[in-house]
Amino acid sequence: MKALLVEDDAAIALVVETVLQREGWTVRHVTDGTSALEEEAPDLLVTDLNLPGARNGLEIAHLLREHRPQMAVVLMSGDYEESDMAPQGMAVLPKPFRRAGLLAAIAQVIGQVRD
């Protein structure tokens, strides 16, 4: 399965990409929203919520879902508030996080879009 990682912090991107690859995902990494929208919509989008440029992670998710409605989405954010609710098929993953948290968020959204 294909994953698109949108993250401008190189250290976080390396960790997330490594975890995804070890779980069997084919990962394409880009650093901004414009580049993300040039990619084919993946099975899984893992994106920072706050990105450089004109588009944030949620906007990218909605635009890519126009081409792949069943795409699972994990939104990473250092500004997460418990009151922040993610739309159906999306999860908010507060930064910093551990491997288990990332994998739990992915499992959650994969389960939502398959139900």
Distance CA 70, CA 114 (A): 8
Read off the pLDDT of residues 47-84 as tens digits, 9 standing for 90 and up.
Answer: 999 888 888 999 999 999 999 999 999 999 987 665 45
Whole-number pLDDT of residue 83: 45
Q: Give the percent of the chain with pLDDT over 90.
A: 77
Residues 86-90 have a mean pLDDT of: 77
SS3 2: strand
Whole-number pLDDT of residue 54: 82
Residues 31-44 have a mean pLDDT of: 94
SS3 8: coil
Domain count, the chain: 1
H/E stretch holding 56 reads: none
Q: Report whether 75 contacts 61 (CB < 8 A).
A: yes
In CATH, what number is assigned to the domain containing residue 100? 3.40.50.2300
Residues 42-49 have a mean pLDDT of: 96
Question: Which pTM value belongs to this model?
Answer: 0.92
Give phi and psi for 30, each to the nearest 5: -130, 165
H/E stretch holding 4 reads: strand 2-6
Question: Which structural domain range is residue 79 located in?
Answer: 2-114
Q: Report whether 91 contacts 108 (CB < 8 A).
A: yes
Residues 15-26 have a mean pLDDT of: 98
